[in-house]
Amino acid sequence: MTKNNSASNRIVAQTKVSSQAWIAWSIVTFFYAFQYVLRVFPGIMINDIRLKFGVDTQQFGDFSGAYYLGYALMHIPVGLLLDHKSPRFVIAFSALLCSFGILPLIYSDSWTFAVIGRFLLGAGSSTAILGVFKVIRLNFPSRKFGTVLGFSVMIGLLGAIYGGRPVQDLVDSLGWMTVLYGFVIAGILLALAVIFLIPKRQNAEQTTSHGSLTHDLKIAFKTPYVMTTALLAALMVGPLEGFADVWGVSYLIQSYGFTKETASYLPGLIFFGMCFGSPALAYLGERTGRYRLIVQSSALIMGIFFIFFLLYMLPLWGIQISFLLVGVLSAYQVLVMHINSLRVQEKYSGIVTALTNMVIMSFGYVFHHFIGRIMNSYWAGETIDGIRVYPVDAYDNGLMIIPFALFLAFLGFYGERIHARIKGRNLY
């Protein structure tokens, strides 16, 4: 009887969530939202940054894309650090790294330092979502993991929305340098909050190793369709990481003639749509079991939308509805993670998921680089106040890489299905 009571007490204790757990979750979730603001702010300050450093669109594209290189390259190392070191230290250091990455934009006139800073900002930001995973896993019952993570993602996407129109209003009223100072201070305060408010008991888990990292990576690379699925999914990030993050605002101003206020909030609707898309697509996948078909269909629908968006003048209400729909479909990444995790044994699902996310995020650099490079090739020599001015054709042709990549992904997933059918393999 005593043993049963003791066991019952342990179960009750495990299902209770302390106030300290909610504080820790709130802090890392704020970090996740904050990194979205840091990710999209160059799109608001594009002319200010280009004027200060005297750069063209190709150079600016490389600058914006450096964030994704830092994010992608640090994803697996940060995951290992969170597993084997104190999450409190790793998260606090990463928040400080984000602040440090902004400083070259304020204090330096060197474009090289600005790009390095952007890379460091991406490296620090990669800890945010992984930190959310870690804190939830350490503090909440496993049955609540999905629900709490869902709230974290929704709040994080609100950060991306805040990075649009509200940041534009702050820039208009305070100046872009003052806003950047505010970001630096926010990162420092966030690091202090992590140190002083997250309990010291948030130590590394004693995880059981299933083999070396090299061995696990070999499993991921050798498993059929894991890498091809990741690469095809990476071709689909253009609407989110190529358009909504940076180039969307300037395109809407130049091509559609919107004011800065209107243009700055519209791309945020894509992130808003993702708030609903993540649970909606996950539910649809669970109900039908056709995960890959949903992803493939998302590529086709988004590609068709961008063709119409770039070639025809849609009304404002049409753009709003379309951006929300694109946001919903951009949540395909959740399904891709699930698809690839099903291809391997459970013990390798973590490394496969991290590798998949790394490949997808790295294509943010690819899109930014080529969009900027194509736009720069259409420059006719016109400048205003020392800033290169690009014709609408430059934007149209530069952004055309987005639907091209989406249609390529659609065909690639179709090719995977044919190959799997020939080989007699099952695809989800």
Q: What pLDDT score was predicted for residue 212?
A: 67
Give the per-residue pLDDT at 134: 82
pLDDT range class, residue 15, cuts 50, 70, 90:
low
- According to CATH, what is the number of the domain 19-203? 1.20.1250.20
**What are the structural domain ranges in the chain?**
19-203, 211-428
Of 180, 36, 189, 186, the residue nearest 108 (C-alpha):
180
pLDDT tens-digit map of 176-185: 999 999 999 9
Least confident of 26-30, 121-125, 389-393: 389-393
Q: What's the farthest any 2 CA atoms get from each other in the chain?
A: 86
Q: What's the confidence (pLDDT) of residue 358? A: 87
121 contacts: CB under 8 Å, gap ≥ 6: 38, 67, 70, 97, 98, 101, 102
- Give the per-residue SS3 of the chain: CHHHHHHHHHHHHHHCCCHHHHHHHHHHHHHHHHHHHHHHHHHHCHHHHHHHHCCCHHHHHHHHHHHHHHHHHHHHHHHHHHHHCCHHHHHHHHHHHHHHHHHHHHHCCCHHHHHHHHHHHHHHHHHHHHHHHHHHHHHCCHHHHHHHHHHHHHHHHHHHHHCCHHHHHHHHHHCHHHHHHHHHHHHHHHHHHHHHHCCCCCCCCCCCCCCCHHHHHHHHHHCCCHHHHHHHHHCCCHHHHHHHHHHHHHHHHHHHCCCHHHHHHCCHHHHHHHHHHHHHHHHHHHHHCCHHHHHHHHHHHHHHHHHHHHHCCCCHHHHHHHHHHHHHHHCHHHHHHHHHHCCCCHHHHHHHHHHHHHHHHHHHHHHHHHHHHHHHHCCCCCEECCEECCCHHHHHHHHCHHHHHHHHHHHHHHHHHHHHHHHCCCCC
Q: Is the pLDDT of residue 131 over 80?
A: yes
Please give the model's pTM, rounded to 2 decimal places: 0.80
Of the listed ranges 53-57, 150-154, 334-338, 344-348, the least confidently predicted one is: 344-348
* pLDDT > 70: percent of the chain: 88
End-to-end CA separation in angstroms for the chain: 48
pLDDT higher than threshold 50 for residue 38: yes
56-60, 84-88, 122-126, 380-384: segment of lowest average pLDDT: 380-384
Q: What is the mean pLDDT of residues 351-378?
A: 87
How far apart are alpha carbons 229 and 413 in whole angstroms? Answer: 8
Q: Tell me the two tokens of residue 122.
A: 């991406």
| Alpha-carbon torsion (16, 22, 23, 27), positive or negative | positive
Could you tell me which CATH class the domain 211-428 is placed in? mainly alpha
> Which two structure tokens, joined as six digits, stand for 284?
């649809």
Q: Are residues 243 and 64 in contact, defined by beta-carbon separation less than 8 angstroms?
A: no
pLDDT of 247 strictly over 80:
yes
* pLDDT, mean of residues 391-401: 90
Write the burial class of residue 383 (CB in 10 Å: 0-12 exposed, 13-18 middle, 19+ buried): exposed
pLDDT, residue 92, reads: 94
Given pLDDT bands bounded at 50, 70 and 90, which one contains residue 114?
very high
The answer to whether the CB of 369 falls within 8 A of the CB of 60 is no
Q: Which two tokens stand for residue 249?
A: 């605002």
Topology match between the domains 19-203 and 211-428: yes
What whole-number distance in Å separates Cα of residue 240 and Cα of residue 330?
7
Q: Using CA atoms, how far apart are residues 134 and 83, in angstroms rounded to an integer?
A: 8
Separation of alpha carbons 149 and 86, rounded Å? 21
Nearest CA among 368, 411, 288, 269 for reference residue 327: 269
The alpha carbon dihedral of 398, 403, 406, 411 has a sign of negative
Share of the chain above pLDDT 90, in %: 38
Structure tokens at 225: 């369709």
Q: What is the pLDDT of residue 201?
A: 55
pLDDT at 330: 92
pLDDT-derived band of residue 223, with 50, 70 and 90 as boundaries? Answer: confident
Mean per-residue pLDDT over the chain, rounded: 84
pLDDT value of position 385: 62
Question: Does pLDDT of 377 surpass 90?
Answer: no
The whole-angstrom separation of Cα 391 and Cα 251 is 10
Spell out the residues 6+ positions from residue 115 whose beta carbon is closer than 8 angstroms to its own.
Answer: 62, 63, 66
pLDDT for residue 209 = 47
